[in-house]
């Protein structure tokens, strides 16, 4: 499979089939906390990064196996809304199954009518809002010069008013960057204006692009939760498990998992249903092939796909 990975079991989405419609870490941003590493292709250009027919066909193949799924989720290795055929992909998937479609987006293109229109067909959209002041946004997400934060925030607000599906806003907090009282206060004011079901507060729980980027502590998470109101909840602890696709071997399953989520050995065992020795053998083989690499974060060793 080129565009589809998992399924991954997450606390938020249950058993979720990952769909990567842009590939190769193509994104509008280059966030310091990004678990996928530095952005390889930084662009604002919407185009066909993966053809809709090929993506839908891969999802069809997984569904044909009878694999139980709670969501098909567009996320993967970059910003899904950069793919100009995203709307066609969502429509194509919804035409063949009742499994709900989710899209995780960094919100940067939500000011575009055509992007909002593509997303209208999804059952769940999870846009991120991590900063409301230009200075903080620049430090946190290193946007391209053409990206206008007020326009982007306006796009989120407009979308929240017209969208009829489930809308969960994600806020990623990074110590020393967007956890100051002024920024949190302004964020709370902005979030108040959004018509959303939930506000999910996250922090840096996996190895980030920049090694000096660190998580906020529990008190800050709790403080933010109170400030953001009754819809807010703290997420951020990794609890992924995955159900392996029938017939896939341990190396493929591990690689599919760590392409989008750097994981510890324990998380890999849990996620892929492997015994410790099986996972260790597969990791050794993946290291031999130079398909994975190790990174340390919070006194733990994480494995991730090479070059991330």
List of residues contacting ligand SF4 (CB under 6 A): 27, 29-31, 34, 36, 39, 78-79, 106, 141
Three-class secondary structure of residue 87 per DSSP? helix
Say how far apart CA 288 and CA 183 lie, in whole Å.
Answer: 45
Q: Which of 308, 269, 295, 129 is nearest to 206 (CA)?
A: 295
Residue spans of beta strands (DSSP E) within 44-93:
71-74
Cβ closer to ligand SF4: 31 or 103? 31
Task: State the nearest-atom distance from the C-beta of 250 to ligand SF4, in Å.
Answer: 27
CB-based contacts of 235, cutoff 8 Å, min separation 6: 11, 12, 170, 200, 201, 202
Q: Which of 226, 114, 100 is nearest to 165 (CA)?
A: 100
Cβ closer to ligand SF4: 20 or 270? 20
Cβ closer to ligand SF4: 108 or 267? 108
* Residue 81 per-residue DSSP state: G
Cβ closer to ligand SF4: 43 or 220? 43
CB atoms under 10 Å from CB of 3, counted, come to: 22
Are 4 and 50 a contacting pair, CB within 8 Å?
no
Task: State the nearest-atom distance from the C-beta of 76 to ligand SF4, in Å.
Answer: 9
Cβ closer to ligand SF4: 16 or 39? 39
Say how far apart CA 9 and CA 70 lie, in whole Å.
Answer: 9
Task: State the nearest-atom distance from the C-beta of 235 to ligand SF4, in Å.
Answer: 15
Are 137 and 143 a contacting pair, CB within 8 Å?
yes
Cβ closer to ligand SF4: 147 or 244? 147
Task: State the nearest-atom distance from the C-beta of 27 to ligand SF4, in Å.
Answer: 3
Task: State the nearest-atom distance from the C-beta of 130 to ligand SF4, in Å.
Answer: 9
Are 206 and 261 a contacting pair, CB within 8 Å?
yes
Task: State the nearest-atom distance from the C-beta of 172 to ligand SF4, in Å.
Answer: 8
H/E element holding 76?
Answer: none
Task: State the nearest-atom distance from the C-beta of 78 to ligand SF4, in Å.
Answer: 5
Task: State the nearest-atom distance from the C-beta of 143 to ligand SF4, in Å.
Answer: 9
Cβ closer to ligand SF4: 136 or 244? 136
Q: What angle do CA 103, 104, 106 make, to 5 degrees?
A: 130
Cβ closer to ligand SF4: 173 or 274? 173
Say how far apart CA 191 and CA 185 lie, in whole Å.
Answer: 10
């Amino acid at each position: 499979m080129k565009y589809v990975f998992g399924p991954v079991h997450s606390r938020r989405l249950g058993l979720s089939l990952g769909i990567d419609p842009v590939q190769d870490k193509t994104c509008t941003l280059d966030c310091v906390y990004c678990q996928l590493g530095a952005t390889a292709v930084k662009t604002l250009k919407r185009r066909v990064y993966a053809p809709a027919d090929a993506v839908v066909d891969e999802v069809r193949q997984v569904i044909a196996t009878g694999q139980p799924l709670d969501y098909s989720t567009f996320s993967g290795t970059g910003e899904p809304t950069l793919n100009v055929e995203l709307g066609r992909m969502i429509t194509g998937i919804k035409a063949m199954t009742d499994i709900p479609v989710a899209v995780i987006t960094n919100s940067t293109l939500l000011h575009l009518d055509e992007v909002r229109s593509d997303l209208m067909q999804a059952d769940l959209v999870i846009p991120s809002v991590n900063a409301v002041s230009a200075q903080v946004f620049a430090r946190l997400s290193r946007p391209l010069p053409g990206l206008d934060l007020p326009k982007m925030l306006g796009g989120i607000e407009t979308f929240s008013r017209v969208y009829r599906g489930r809308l969960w806003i994600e806020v990623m907090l990074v110590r020393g960057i967007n956890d100051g009282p002024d920024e949190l206060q302004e964020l709370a004011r902005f979030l108040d204006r959004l018509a959303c079901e939930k506000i999910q507060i996250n922090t840096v729980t996996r190895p980030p692009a920049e090694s000096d980027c660190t998580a906020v502590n529990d008190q800050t998470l709790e403080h933010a939760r109170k400030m953001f109101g009754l819809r807010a909840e703290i997420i951020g602890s990794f609890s992924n498990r995955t159900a392996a696709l029938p017939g896939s071997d341990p190396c493929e399953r591990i690689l599919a998992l760590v392409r989008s989520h750097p994981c510890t050995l324990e998380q890999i065992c849990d996620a892929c249903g492997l015994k410790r020795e099986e996972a260790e053998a597969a990791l050794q083989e993946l290291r031999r092939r130079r398909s994975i690499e190790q990174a340390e974060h919070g006194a733990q060793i994480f494995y991730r796909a090479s070059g991330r």
